[in-house]
Amino acid sequence: MAKRSSAAPPTPWSKSLTEPKIDKSAYIHSFSNIIGDVRIDSNVMIAPGTCIRADQGNPFYIGKSTSIQDGVVINGLETGQVVGDDNKSYSVWIGSNTSITHMTLIHGPAYIGNNSFIGFRSTIFNSRIGEGCIVMMHALIQDVEIPPGKYVPSGSIITTQQQANRLPNVQEADKNFAHHVAGVNEALRAGYHCVDDVDCITPIREELNRTYALSPTDSQKSINKQEYQEMGVNREVMEQVRDLLAQGYRIGMEHADERRFQTSSWKSCATIQSSRDFEVFAEISACLEEHGGEYVRIIGIDTKAKKRILETIIQRPSDRPGSGNGSNSYTPSRSNSYTPSSYSSKVSSSVLPAEAVEQVRNLLAQGYRIGTEHADKRRFQTSSWHSCSPIDAKGESDAIAALEECIANHGGEYVRMVGIDPKAKRRISETIIQRPDGNNNITPSTSRSTATASSSSRSSAATSTRLSAEIVQQVSQLLSQGCQVSTEYADERRYKINSWQSGGVIQSQRDAEVIAALESTIDEHSGAYVRLIGIDPKAKRRVCEVLIQRPSK
**Residue 475: its pLDDT value, please?**
86
Long-range Cβ contact pairs of 390-398 (< 8 A, separation 24 or more) = 394/328, 394/331, 394/364, 394/369, 395/327, 395/328, 395/331, 395/364, 396/347, 396/360, 396/361, 396/364, 397/347
Give a three-class secondary structure readout of 71-118: CCEEEECCCCCEECCCCCEECEEECCCCEECCCCEEEEEEEECCCCEE
Query: Distance between CA 119 and CA 100 in Å, rounded?
Result: 7
Asked if omega into 12 is within 30° of 0 (cis), the reply is no
Query: Distance between CA 280 and CA 291 in Å, rounded?
Result: 17
Superfamily (CATH H level) for 463-549: Ribulose bisphosphate carboxylase, small subunit (3.30.190.10)
- Return the CATH fold of 5-176: UDP N-Acetylglucosamine Acyltransferase; domain 1 (2.160.10)
Q: DSSP class of residue 150? A: B
CATH of domain 219-341: 3.30.190.10
CA distances from 516 to 81, 263, 462, 472, 510 (A): 53, 39, 9, 11, 10
Query: Distance between CA 55 and CA 183 in Å, rounded?
Result: 31
Query: Distance between CA 109 and CA 20 in Å, rounded?
Result: 19
**Domain boundaries of the chain, sorted by first residue:** 5-176, 219-341, 354-445, 463-549
Output the CA torsion sign for 10, 16, 17, 21.
negative
End-to-end CA distance of the chain, in Å? Answer: 56
Beta strands in 123-173, from DSSP E residues, in sequence order:
123-129, 134-135, 140-142, 145-146, 151-152, 157-158
Q: In whole angstroms, what separates CA 493 from the centre of its chain? A: 23
**Residue 341: its pLDDT value, please?**
37
User: For the chain, which residues score pLDDT lower than 50?
Assistant: 1-3, 213-223, 225-226, 228, 230, 322-345, 443-461
Superfamily (CATH H level) for 354-445: Ribulose bisphosphate carboxylase, small subunit (3.30.190.10)
The neighbour count for residue 367, using CB atoms within 10 Å, is 18
Q: Taking the model in full, what pTM does it have? A: 0.40
The rounded mean pLDDT for the chain is 79
Q: In whole angstroms, what separates CA 24 from the centre of its chain? A: 37
Nearest to 429 by CA among 299, 546, 544, 549: 544
**Residue 204: its pLDDT value, please?**
60
**Residue 205: its pLDDT value, please?**
63
Q: Do the domains 463-549 and 219-341 match in fold?
A: yes
